[in-house]
Chain A
Amino acid sequence: KAGVTQTPRYLIKTRGQQVTLSCSPISGHRSVSWYQQTPGQGLQFLFEYFSETQRNKGNFPGRFSGRQFSNSRSEMNVSTLELGDSALYLCASSTDWTRLYEQYFGPGTRLTVT
């Protein structure tokens, strides 16, 4: 069974631009969560989608948004990029939102904002 895939793996953007990251969950998984990982703040929860609905949202500004499609694939968007948005963005999927012990992470997208 294929794992969680994220595209692109690496991205360099300039301040003020916007970016869209994509996550394809494991087949059959309907819950997708997004996390930001930085050396200073560690791993922080961004949001979670289940069956195309945002179930949960972390404490990030409105510049961070996401969505989930009917095939469970998810995208997250960051508008008006800031230097502090440089991070590893991880997505994780599970069969449903109650089964986080079966949550599998993707390899992440490394975003660098210059």
Chain B
Amino acid sequence: GQNIDQPTEMTATEGAIVQINCTYQTSGFNGLFWYQQHAGEAPTFLSYNVLDGLEEKGRFSSFLSRSKGYSYLLLKELQMKDSASYLCAVREPYNQGGKLIFGQGTELSVKP
């Protein structure tokens, strides 16, 4: 089966650092994606990891450990505009179709 777990909600303070975890148990793996979705808007792509390690992109970094079925998204120097839902998604291998399987999302609230 396919199972992707993320915390439902998190709260952090402006200027701080927050780490959003994602664990997955899937029958195959072909990459892990993070998306940001503001209320009432479409998801926007943040990061993509297919190999173990840390990918850094400005204030956002994403880490992957395939052996542990684990990823996290790290947001530094939090801003109020970072308040949003963060979606973790695992891609199936191409020979299984290659579709994205999403977690339920983590609702992040940034407080002043």
Q: A56-B97, A56-B98, A58-B99 are in contact. Are A101 and B45 (CB under 8 A)?
A: yes
A56-68 interface code vs B (CB 8 A; 1 in, 0 out): 1010000000000
Interface size on B, residues (CB 8 A): 21
Residue pair B105, A43 in contact (C-beta under 8 Å) = yes
Contact B42 A105 (CB under 8 A): yes
A42 with B105: CB separation less than 8 A: yes
Q: Which of B56-112 contact A (CB under 8 A)?
A: 87, 89, 91, 94, 97-105
Contacts of B99 in A (CB 8 A): 33, 45, 48, 56, 58
Q: Can you name the residue of chain B whose Cβ is closest to the Cβ of A47? A: B99
Whether B105 lies near A107 (C-beta < 8 A) is: no
**Contacts from B to A (Cβ < 8 Å):** 31, 33, 41-45, 48, 87, 89, 91, 94, 97-105
* 14 A-B pairs (CB sep. < 8 Å): A42-B104, A42-B105, A44-B102, A45-B102, A56-B98, A90-B42, A98-B98, A100-B31, A101-B33, A102-B45, A104-B45, A105-B42, A106-B42, A107-B42
